[in-house]
Amino acid sequence: MPNIKSAEKRVRQSVSKTAINKHSKSELKTVLKNAHQALDTSADDAAQKALKAQKKIDKAASKGLIHKNKAARKNSQIAKKLNQLG
């Protein structure tokens, strides 16, 4: 346990930020999974789900939730699948 007040505050902040990041990452994974499933099955709303996923990816990268190169790679994968649909 921390002995200094500022260290106690940092622990509190760390716990709350970890919870927020966990929620955001989980949400991102869900959106990505839905987009990939829609693109694989050629669903009617595949383009909308892909766009939503790309938006989430870009936002996560700008917030530092994922690395910008990972974001670029994921966006590229989605765009590639979307272009294959026609």
DSSP codes of every residue in 4-68: SHHHHHHHHHHHHHHHHHHHHHHHHHHHHHHHHHHHHTT-TTHHHHHHHHHHHHHHHHHTTSS-H
Q: What is the pLDDT of residue 19?
A: 97
Angle, in degrees to the nearest 10, between helices 5-40 and 68-85: 20
Query: pTM, whole model, 2 decimals?
Result: 0.85
Q: How confident is the model at residue 51 (pLDDT cuts 50, 70, 90)?
A: very high
Phi and psi, residue 41, nearest 5°: -95, 5
pLDDT tens, 52-63?
A: 999 999 999 999
Region 12-34 average pLDDT: 97
Q: Which two tokens stand for residue 25?
A: 């990452």
pLDDT number for residue 65: 96
Query: pLDDT tens-digit profile of 60-79?
Result: 999 999 999 999 999 999 99
